[in-house]
Structure 1
Amino acid sequence: MNEKINTFLSSGLLDKYLLGETTSEETEMVESYISRYPEIENEYNTMQHNLEVVAKASAVEAPKSILNTILEELDDAPVVKLNAPKRYKKWYKFSIAASVAALIFAGSSAYFYNQNKKLQNDTIIVDAEIDDLRSDIAQNNAMLDKVMRQLLKLNNPETEKYIIKGNERAKDLKTVAYINPKEKTSMIDVVSLPELPEEQCYQIWAELQGKMVNLGILDKADRQLRNIPYMEDALALSITIEPKGGNTIASTKNSVAQISLQ
């Protein structure tokens, strides 16, 4: 890999491009490099895959539509049309017109008072919705920060990826472990777990100095990238079927998946 490619990959522009934070000039530059250099294209495809993996951890429900609520409230607002009073040709009609005008004025005052109260209530509701939206934005920003941190871990050159597949007893089992021996971090992504009876569960272990160390329970309902304890000098990772709630000692006879880390 030549120095020009190394310099580009170290610049962090690929990360910015993936997140849509590049300027138009930077975007043009990144796309040019991707099309010209297979090494950069491969790195870009890998980072895209990693971003998809990390994004599963941020699967949150979208916030309520505030815009639709506001538009609906505005659509309900009355449109009042004021017609110009007619002129009467004869003077004795003035008194009748004055009486009618007084009645209209009294009715209009009550109407506009009620509309003003309704508008005040609607304003309070909209303000509450806006506060909820701000809270959702803050939560989403925090989630995005978490995703960014996980993405950086996955894209770290020191991070090693291990795909763990099930044996004949659990053919559809698949998990992916990400281990960084330099930063001493471990993460696991549960891709698929076959169904088990209610009284059983899957448990992951690290083989270390002739013994099996518990790293936690794998739950089908918890399909997301999550941290697991890092075990330095671990020789292998194993997944076994254990009683519900987990076990303190690995049931090696019930092993359904194993991968060497050496």
Structure 2
Amino acid sequence: MNEKITLFLNSDLLENYLIGATSKKEAELVETYISKYPEVEHAYNTLQHNLEIVSKYHAVEAPASVLENVYNAIAEETEDTPVLPLKVKTRRRAVFLRYTSIAASLIAVIFAGASSIFYIQNQELKEENQVVVDEIFDLRSDIDMNNKKLDELMAQFKQLNNPETQKYVIKGNNRAKNLKTVAYINPKEKTSMIDVVSLPQLPKEQCYQIWAELEGKMVNLGILDEADRQLRAIPYTENALGLNITIEPKGGNTNASLENSVAEISLKSRD
């Protein structure tokens, strides 16, 4: 191998020609060397073979219509221009490879872009769906809560309108003149409810507590709070003789402080 061929093969001209990165003058020089020197032709064929292997390894399968579109584009560009045969057979193959390489690259770019768009849209759709699911869950929770409150309200309404329900108005004595509560007791259904109408304000360390009076015993029925002014259930006490409201330490007491009684009422049968 002479020095001229060695210098040529050591340059990048052959590789650049193979991928279509040479100028017209450089391409003509490479084609001359390929057609004139067998060593150069062999090197070119080897490079071409290796390029095909790499291209197949990294190839992205293109839609069937791509090749047809490429042919149509070439046909439109050369419709009015006669196609001249190249001097070297390998030149046509290089041109074809160049077009297919460009087409494959464009397809890969389009595919990557489309995949990114679809991914973003999919993420946004997932987020929107999650928001809708959360809103539906919250709505169902609200509906369940409202239905529960409605059921409780209807039960209280039925109890108040039950002919067996007895109403007791409990008013405060001189120690709590503005105190007023209403008790609703149904001995047949064994239910009790109380409605706090008004409670005089107490120091923070004290509270009102309601008791059921039995023979020689006071049963705790709970704490009364001005902030909780609504009809609510209290424990039913069988055979209770009366109800008593006392002032107790904050949090309530286990035993009634009868000396601090502010309201009481006797429970009498109304049969």
TM bin, normalised by shorter chain, reads 0.5 to 0.7
Query: Would you say how many aligned residue pairs link Structure 1 and Structure 2?
Result: 164
User: Does 1:145 pair with 2:180?
Assistant: no
Q: Report the CA distance shift for 1:123/1:237 in structure 2 as closer, same or farther (over 3 A).
A: same
Q: 1:29-44 alignment to 2 at 5 Å?
A: none
Q: Which residue of 2 aligns with 1:213?
A: 219
Query: What CA deviation, in whole Å up to 9, does each residue of 1:15-70 have, x standing for no partner?
Result: xxxxxxxxxxxxxxxxxxxxxxxxxxxxxxxxxxxxxxxxxxxxxxxxxxxxxxxx
Q: Report the CA distance shift for 1:132/1:162 in structure 2 as closer, same or farther (over 3 A).
A: same
1:225 shift after superposition: 2.3
1:142 shift after superposition: 2.3
Q: After the TM superposition, which parts of structure 1 deviate over 6 Å for at least 4 consecutive aligned residues? A: 110-113
Provide the C-alpha distance between the structure 2 equivalents of 1:214 and 1:246, rounded to a whole number of angstroms. 9
1:134 shift after superposition: 1.5
Q: Which residue of 2 aligns with 1:154?
A: 160
Q: Which residue of 2 aligns with 1:175?
A: 181
Q: 1:59-70 alignment to 2 at 5 Å?
A: none
Query: The residue matched to 1:169 in structure 2 has which SS?
Result: coil
Max radius of gyration: which structure? 2
1:240 shift after superposition: 0.8
Q: Report the CA distance shift for 1:197/1:114 in structure 2 as closer, same or farther (over 3 A).
A: same
Q: Report the CA distance shift for 1:211/1:114 in structure 2 as closer, same or farther (over 3 A).
A: closer
Provide the C-alpha distance between the structure 1 equivalents of 2:126 and 2:146, rounded to a whole number of angstroms. 30
1:246 shift after superposition: 2.1
Q: 1:32-181 alignment to 2 at 5 Å?
A: 114-115=120-121, 117-181=123-187
Provide the C-alpha distance between the structure 1 equivalents of 2:202 and 2:182, rounded to a whole number of angstroms. 20
Judge which range, 216-225 or 129-138, deviates more: 216-225
Q: Which amino acid aligns with 1:146?
A: E
Q: TM-score, normalised by structure 1?
A: 0.53
Q: Which runs of 5+ in 1 are unaligned?
A: 1-90, 93-101
Q: Which has the higher contact order (CA 8 A, sep 6+)?
A: 1
1:145 shift after superposition: 1.7
Provide the C-alpha distance between the structure 1 equivalents of 2:165 and 2:130, rounded to a whole number of angstroms. 51
Query: What CA deviation, in whole Å up to 9, does each residue of 1:95-152 have, x standing for no partner?
Result: xxxxxxx9xx99x967686455424422221122112212221222222222222221
Q: Which residue of 1 aligns with 2:244?
A: 238
1:241 shift after superposition: 0.5
User: Does 1:259 pair with 2:265?
Assistant: yes
Query: The residue matched to 1:221 in structure 2 has which SS?
Result: helix
Query: What CA deviation, in whole Å up to 9, does each residue of 1:140-168 have, x standing for no partner?
Result: 22222222222211111100111112222
Q: Which residue of 1 aligns with 2:190?
A: 184
Provide the C-alpha distance between the structure 2 equivalents of 1:259 and 1:152, rounded to a whole number of angstroms. 24
% identical aligned pairs: 69
Q: Which amino acid aligns with 1:233?
A: N
